[in-house]
Structure 1
Amino acid sequence: MTRTVFQFLRIGLLVAGLAGSPAVAQLPSFKLSEDKPEALKEETTEDKRKRLKSWLDDWRGQVEALDKGGALPTGITPEESAVRRSDLLLGIFTAENSVRSLDTAEILKQSISQAKEDSAKWNGFDKPGPYSFVLHDELRRQQEGIATRMRAYESAVNMFDRELTKRQDEIKKTDEAVRVAQEAANRATPEHVGAELWRLESVKLKLRALSSAAAMLQHTADNTRMRFAAAEIEAELLKRKIAALGAATVFPQADLDHLKHSTDERRKDIAKELTNIEKSQQAVIAERQTALATAEALKAATPNPTDADKAKLTAAVERVQFLDNQLESLANRVEITGARLRFLSEYYDAQTFRKTLLTSQSAAERTEALVSLQTQLARASAFDSLVDVRRNAALSAMQEQESRLSALAADSPQRPQIEQLLGTLRADLDSVERFGQDISGLHLDIGRWLADSEQIDQSKTWGERLRGLGSRAARQAKAVWNFVVYRYDDKTEVDGQVVTVKRGLTLGWLIGALLFFWVAYRAGSWLLKRGYKRLVNKGRVQQGQADTLRRWTRIALGIVLALVTLNFLKIPLTAFAFLGGALAIGIGFGTQTLFKNFISGLIVLAERKVRVGDILEVDGVAGTVTAIDTRSSTVRSFDGVDMIVPNSVLLESKVINWTHDTPVVRRVVRVRVSYGSQLRMVSTILAECAGEHGIILKSPEPQVVLEDFAADSLIFAVFFWIDLRAKTGGATVASDLRFMIERRLGEAGISLASPQQSFQLHADKPLRVQMDGGESEEVKPS
């Protein structure tokens, strides 16, 4: 016996050896030898079994006495009696399990001896290799199963060790409670001594029950360790067998035929099971229709129902709900069983792909088989997720019905229905578990085969690896080219009926469409550039207008090419419906200003109120329009600065177009001369100066006007017309004209008036005059 068990038993001995009293005498006998406690280490298995059975008989007797309701000492409450009974049941349970663990330990020792013997006897297979795939798979499955069991054993041992630690802490606390109870019994008065002794006995009983529980955990942990040891020996033997198999695997036709035959037999069984489930489903559907009709008849026949009528109606409605739940469970079984039936051939197909992968001389065939296995592995993973979801759903439904069942009375009429539904749910869970086992087995097998193929690939020559790599690259490229980016519905009309066909927009289609569009757009842009260049060279349009028209024509070309490309590749516009909805609304709000300016640009081009080359004044800035684009127009000021003007401004704001109908505009230069000048001479000189300038137009001819009599001068205005298309601007012409007028007036002895200002000096107070370099003096007015 281990050291931990000895510690627990020693505590039990100390409990049994406490002060004897009539109450203590009722505890199970615990006979000890007079030797030291270490003598317990030599206790045989039979002695342990006898001791545990003695405890069991005593504890069962005490439970029976408590159940009969015997008199309790004065001061003992029913709650304390219930606690004592719970401790007795704990002791009985743990002692029974300990007895079974002792019996199991003998069997496990024999299994370890047998495993060692089998491992020592095995010296190899009877026949030389290579060996069939059946033997390879069988041994590898056994190896995986043993590895799983060993992990479970390790987890169980760790759990038992943690539980033993908890029991040790409880035993220490209870041991202290025994000491406290003993002191209380020793100090008790005669009228309370019975109750205190009863409590002391209960605490001692709890201590022994905890010791029994700890011993049970120790026995179970020891047995788990022996199971782990036996599994470890088996794992070592399987490792030797798998090493003896070698990497070579053959696929005898007899084994393949046997696999196909067994698959067909299983398919027949599952198909028969599916037929029975569907029959049950049809029967439940018919029963539900009858129950629903009954419920509807009860609702219609009793406008003023009595309590009995209400009870019948409630029962009818509950029956319909029960049948609905049963139908749902049967539908799940039909789906899972159908999936099992469809998935059954996957294993045979996987073995076929595996054979191609391992034995084919063609790199392309091996690559295709590898991709097929990877696809099956992905499908198995998806089905694993489905099985988990269905398993959880079935367990949840079972827990719900079990909770309802536990809340019902034993004679409730609903109990048979719920029990029947629980049976259906258990069958549903069983179908899910069986399907999960099939999927899990295939998942593990394919994963192992792929890992084996990788090891085989590592042993290949460089030439074989390069051929395989090229084949895989071509396969991957083809898969990427045929990757479906988006699926859509294509509606066509056949014989007056609209037929909807599922189509897929592949990545290859998109690349082809983009390439076709790019080539056509580039070619069209080149032709447009050449065409407008010829128009400019012939003088039919100006360069700025040609650039603007070319931009807009390219936009129209792009739209037309996009539609032609989609139609040519048979890609309907509905394929891009995913761009609509919320995305379209968001884009609409975000680009409303952009579309506003775009439409404004179209209107500007259509109305031709503003054209390239026009001179505009926008927001107080004047300049020449150099371009009208899709979103904005460019106005270059006379200072050479480009101003970007949104197209909507040209329609919504006040814009001055100096060259709208004609580029001829009127300018004015004002001249101030002094009073006393010869007015006619001044007018003649001004008219001659305007007529002599080469840029000022002769028609309409310049006009001289005496505009005003100012306070200090006579104001003449020279109005003249110029063509804004001339290279010299209006400001330059006005400057030249002023130079000419100043020279001619000077020659004629006429002076230009200078601004005059008058002011009055009020000297009602002395003024302070400051002289440079002198003292300040006061000056008094005379």
Structure 2
Amino acid sequence: MNKVLSFTEARTLAMTEFYRRLLPCLCAVSLVGTQLPEANAAPTEPNQFATQQLAPTSNVPHLKDIGQSEAGLSPSATSSRDAASSVSLVSAEDDLAAETSSAVLENKQEEVAAELRVAMLQEKQEAESSGNDNDQPSADSSRVDLLKQIDVVIAQQQSATSSNEDHDAQVASLKQLLTRLADGKIEDRTPPYSIVYQDGLKESVRNANTRLLSAESSVVSARDAAETAKLELDDRAKTLRQRKENSTPATESEIQIAELEQKLAEEMLVLRRQELSIAEANQAIAKLQLEIEEKKLAIVGDHIVFTREMLEQKLDDFDLREIELKQQVARLKNELHFAERRWMAARQETDSTSNAGPELTERVDSLKVAQMTLQNHSSLINQQLQRIPILKKAWERRFLVVTNQAERKERQAWAEETEQQIEQIERDRRARQFKLDELRVNQSNVEAKIDAINGSNPAVRRWLESKRDSLAKQMEVYNSSVISLDNAERTLQRLKNQIDGEPGRSVSEIIEDTWDQTQRVWNYELANIEDTSLTVGKVCSSVLLLFIGFMLARWFSALLGRRLPKWGVEEAAAHAIESLTFYALLITLGLTALRYANVPLTVFTFLGGAVAIGVGFGSQNILNNFISGLILLAERPIKVGDLVSVDGTLGNVTTIGARSTQIRTGENQDIIVPNSKFLENNVTNLTRRDDRLRTSVTIGVAYGSNLDSVLRLLARAASEQSGVLERPKPMVWFNDFGDNALVFQVHFWIQAKNVTQMRMIETGVRLKIDSMFREAEIVIAFPQRDLHIQASRPIDLRLIGSNGPSQHDLDSIGDAA
């Protein structure tokens, strides 16, 4: 069949034919240069010496001349090419195709093979002449090694050229297929399409994406390798230039070696460029394949059909697979019994031997590994059998979803169940991967032991190799299991995607779904206490009940505290009843909330002991004050409104709380006193029985005062003061003969509820005493001192006028003193 050639292919063939015809001419020129060395100018040319050596034994041109011929250059251009500092990495595609065409590569391979034969012959002659006494490698042997490497690289270039040709054909075929898909039709397929076919297309798209990522990574690696080859060629060219600049007859062989090394680097660069071209072609192929699969998937679109016959076919396939797996399990079971008997026999032989050698030890280990391989294989197959009903159910559910035969709640339940199954498969896959890593390590250790034996003990080596094979079998089994897990996950994922990809919900469906989700959260079980479920709803209801109960208990107790005084209950008693009622209601509501949540009180048996220990050590003061507050409310040694004195502080009780009591002083300062203070220390309650108080006022009068008048006036002042009770009557005491006064104290009873009232009455009594004493000319004493002066003669006293004393008077007073 005639094939239409592209411009690039035509140009490549033309250049190949040109090189094929030019090559013999260049070879002849090279032979002429070999026969006439004096015609060639520069003695520093590195290839002259090699050409003169090759001339007597062969008419084949030198390898460097072959390279010049392929490049279309004459031998006179050798120095200019060798002097080039580097070779461009990225050249035109046409040049690379011409340089690596089949004809050019065949000619290059023939020339290298001819020169290699000559070099090998010279190496043999040199070895015979030297008698093999020199252990150092000769220049000929180095040339042979380099030529062999060049020959291998050229062979790789030929393989790469063939791959490029195949890739070109594949790219052309894929482009034609993509063009045909532009019509919106798939060959050999007519709509509607099977859902199984759609699944295959989706899997193909996924695989195409994976191949594209791999191809892109390969392009990056190939580009890096080409850059490295270019740098290597630059280094070889630099080395060759330096050796040519310092060349001597003794270094001609080194120059020849350097030329071959540069040639090898050039060929390696060509090979790396070919590999880069192949990687780019693979990338283009991967892109085209992805476009084709995506195009097919777009064509299929919604033209999908899922019939009952298709479902039955899939279920039949699962049944057949189940039969095959059961047969494998039965076969593995028999093999496992046989392996166990072999291992037990080897174990008994090892135990019966006093000094078991390494052969018996390795035999037991190898048989044990073989047994474990069969056991793991059987276990993995059983797991596959357990997944088959799940996969069958997934296909049945998918059929119902596609055919719109499933209700909304069923689909939601299926989606959640499928999600859980996918998560379980993910966990199983991770476990398989860990096991594979472990097997790789074990296999590496066995390989190291085999290398260490090195044929010294064939029996041990045989068992080690058997152990290695068993580990390799296990790795194969686990790899197959991972693949099975991947297939199962894809099946379940398709069902989940089918459910998630349904049309949008209506408002009523959204409300229904929200309500269902709320109910699921409300009924979510947080804990299980004595076969009693503790759910989120019960916890929330209990907390809400406690909050509402707290508010109601506070409201009811406050209402009761306000009503009781109106019913004849004392205010202090009403306050105590209010506090006790609040705590009782709060405890009752707490127990009710726990009962509503179905939390048995027996749970707090151990908790109560732990709390008691913790409270006894860590919360001793808090609990002490709390219990003291309860005792104060129950026994009522003090009440709200009582006038008390605590540690010298006098004030009225305003609040008796659970932890502390608040006292307000006459200065309107609130003092917080812990409840334990009222039980542990001496507390004076001035108004415990009633609000009658006996108080007193102390006063001193001057010596010489009429004491009867003082007693009468003091009693009268107290009696006439408002606020002082008539009964008991005020009483006056003559307490003491003081240093500066005669001390009297008047006692009287008053009716006061706080310090302010008491102080006001005392102040009034003092004012009346002062007023009466002034009228009666009774002097209220104050501190005074008597000064006694002893002198030998009377003191002369003189009155001093308003103008002040004279100097004479002052002198007289001083003399008298």
TM range, normalised to the smaller chain?
A: 0.7 to 0.9
CA–CA separation in structure 2 for the residues paired with 1:478 and 1:206 = 80
**Paired position in structure 2 for 1:643:** 671
Residue of structure 2 equivalent to 1:633 = 661
Q: Structure 1 506/283 Cα, relative in aligned 2: closer, same or farther at 3 Å? A: farther
State yes or no: 1:487 paired with 2:527: yes
Identify if the C-alpha distance between structure 1 residues 448 and 690 changes in structure 2 by more than 3 Å, giving closer, same or farther. Answer: same
Provide Cα deviations, 1:248-267, integer angstroms capped at 9, x if missing partner: 43211111011112122323
Contact kept? 1:23, 1:201, Cα under 8 Å:
no
| Partners of 1:690 and 1:696 within 8 A in 2 | yes
Q: Are 1:357 and 1:367, in contact at CA under 8 Å, matched by a contact in 2?
A: no
Cα pair distance change 1:511/1:59, threshold 3 Å: farther
| Structure 1 match to 2:289 | 234
Question: Match for 1:130 among 188, 192, 202?
Answer: 192
CA contact (8 A) 2:109 2:151 kept: no
Which residue does 2:26 correspond to in 1? Answer: none
Distance 1:98 1:534 in 2: 110
- How far 1:429 moved relative to its partner? 3.9
Name 2:387's counterpart in structure 1: 343
Describe the shift of the 1:753–1:466 C-alpha distance in structure 2 as closer, same or farther (beyond 3 A): same
Q: Bigger shift: 202-211 or 506-515?
A: 202-211
* 2:227 corresponds to 1:165: yes
For these two proteins, the number of residue pairs brought into alignment is 722
C-alpha distance after superposition, 1:105-135 (max 9, x if no partner): 3333333343344445565256753332112
Aligned to 2:482: 436
- Is 1:473–2:514 an aligned residue pair? yes
SS at match of 1:622: strand
Structure 2 vs 1, CA of residues 732 and 259 (structure 1 numbering), >3 Å: closer, same or farther?
Answer: same
Q: Deviation digits for residues 78-121 of structure 1, max 9, x if unmatched?
A: 99999999988976775554443333333333333433444455
- Corresponding residue for residue 101 of structure 1: 160
Give the superposition deviation at 1:627: 2.3
Q: Choose from 436, 440, 453 the match for 1:398.
A: 440
* Counterparts of 1:526 and 1:100, CA distance in 2: 96
Question: What aligned pairs does 1:504-653 form with structure 2 within 5 A after superposition?
Answer: 505-517=534-546, 528=557, 531-542=560-571, 545-572=573-600, 594-595=622-623, 597-605=625-633, 608-618=636-646, 620-650=648-678
Match of 1:457 among 488, 503, 515: 503
Bigger CA drift: 147-156 or 594-603?
594-603
Structure 1, unmatched stretches of 5+, are 7-12, 299-307, 459-463, 492-500, 763-771
2:426 matches 1:384: yes
Question: What SS is found at the alignment partner of 2:168?
Answer: helix
User: Identical aligned pairs, as a percentage?
Assistant: 23
Pairing partner for 1:260 from 310, 315, 326? 315
Code of the residue aligned with 2:445 in structure 1: it is: S
Partner of 1:302: none
Q: Quickly say closer, same or farther: Cα 1:618–1:524, change in 2 above 3 A.
A: closer
* Alpha-carbon distance, 1:738 to partner: 0.9
Q: Structure 1: how far apart are the matches of 2:761 and 2:369?
A: 99
Moved more, 84-93 or 370-379: 84-93
Query: 2:67 maps to which residue?
Result: 32
Task: Report the residue type matching 2:567 in the other structure.
Answer: K
Give the corresponding residue for 1:717.
745
Counterpart secondary structure, 1:623: strand
Q: How does 1:728-743 map to 2 (within 5 A)?
A: 729-743=757-771
Looking at structure 2, the residues matched to 579 and 406 of structure 1 have their Cα atoms a distance apart, in angstroms, of 60
The question of whether the paired residues in 1 share the 8 Å contact of 2:50 and 2:256 is answered with: no
SS of alignment partner, residue 749 of structure 1: coil
Supply the AA of the counterpart residue of 2:479. E
Structure 1 residue 448: Cα displacement = 6.2
SS in 1 for 2:503: helix
The separation in 1 between residues aligned to 2:461 and 2:209, in whole angstroms, is 44
Determine the structure 1 residue equivalent to 2:12.
Answer: none
Cα shift at 1:222: 2.0
Q: Which amino acid aligns with 1:405?
A: E
Residue 51 in structure 1 maps to residue 79 in structure 2: no
SS at the partner of 2:744? Answer: strand
State the partner residue of 2:795.
none
Q: 2:793 aligns to what?
A: none
Matched, 1:689 2:689: no
Q: Which residue of 1 aligns with 2:3?
A: none
The answer to whether the 8 A contact 1:394-1:425 is kept is no
How far has the Cα of 1:472 moved from its partner? Answer: 3.0
Q: CA separation in 1, counterparts of 2:112 and 2:603?
A: 81
| Deviation at residue 759 of structure 1 after TM alignment | 8.0
Q: Is the 8 A contact 1:666 1:720 kept in 2?
A: yes
Query: Residues 471, 728 of structure 1: CA spacing in aligned structure 2 closer, same or farther, 3 A cutoff?
Result: closer
SS of aligned partner of 2:655? strand
Query: Could you say which residue in structure 1 is the equivalent of 2:98?
Result: 42
Measured in 1, the distance between the counterparts of 2:479 and 2:446 equals: 24
Query: Hey, what does 2:773 align to over in structure 1?
Result: 745
Q: 2: distance between equivalents of 1:334 and 1:723?
A: 101
SS in 2 for 1:406: helix
Q: Contact (CA 8 Å) 1:687, 1:704: kept in 2 or not?
A: yes
**Amino acid aligned to 1:179:** R
Q: Is the 8 A contact 1:690 1:702 kept in 2?
A: yes
Give the superposed CA RMSD.
5.3
Which structure 2 residues correspond to residues 322-341 of structure 1 after superposition, within 5 A?
336-341=380-385
Which region of structure 1 is more displaced relative to structure 2, 101-110 or 266-275? Answer: 266-275
Structure 2 unaligned regions, length at least 5: 1-7, 10-14, 16-29, 31-43, 55-60, 74-94, 791-801
Deviation (angstroms), 1:64:
13
Kept in 2: contact 1:380–1:439 (CA 8 A): no
2:67 partner SS = coil
In the TM superposition, residue 179 of structure 1 has moved relative to its aligned partner by 3.2
Structure 1 residues 34 and 281 mapped into 2: Cα distance closer, same or farther (>3 Å)?
Answer: closer
Change beyond 3 A, Cα 1:609–1:40: closer
- Provide the residue aligned with 1:765 in structure 2: none
CA distance in 1, matches of 2:623, 2:512: 50
**Residues 130 and 328 from structure 1, CA distance in 2 versus in 1: closer, same or farther, beyond 3 angstroms?**
same
Structure 2 CA distance for partners of 1:583 and 1:442, relative to 1, 3 Å: farther
Q: CA deviation at 1:715?
A: 1.9
**Offset at 1:165?**
1.3
Name the CA distance, whole Å, in 1 between partners of 2:143 and 2:666.
Answer: 109
> Please, which of 269, 279, 284 is the counterpart of residue 214 of structure 1?
269
Distance in 2 of aligned mates of 1:773 and 1:417: 144
**Structure 2: distance between partners of 1:153 and 1:102:** 19
Please state whether the residue corresponding to 1:705 is helix, strand or coil: strand
**In 1, are the aligned partners of 2:650 and 2:665 still within 8 Å (CA)?**
yes
Name the CA distance, whole Å, in 1 between partners of 2:117 and 2:765.
135
Q: Which of the pair has more CA radius of gyration?
A: 2
For 1:42, give the aligned amino acid.
A
Bigger Cα displacement from structure 2, 134-143 vs 234-243: 234-243
Of stretches 698-707 and 630-639 in structure 1, the one that deviates more from structure 2 is: 698-707
- Among 114, 117, 120, which residue is 2:173 paired with? 114
Further displaced range: 590-599 or 56-65: 56-65
Q: Give 1:403 deviation, angstroms.
A: 3.4
Per the normalisation by structure 2, the TM-score is 0.72
Contact 2:697 2:766 in 1 (8 A): yes
C-alpha contact (below 8 Å) 2:695/2:748 kept by paired residues: yes
Contact 2:119 2:143 in 1 (8 A): no
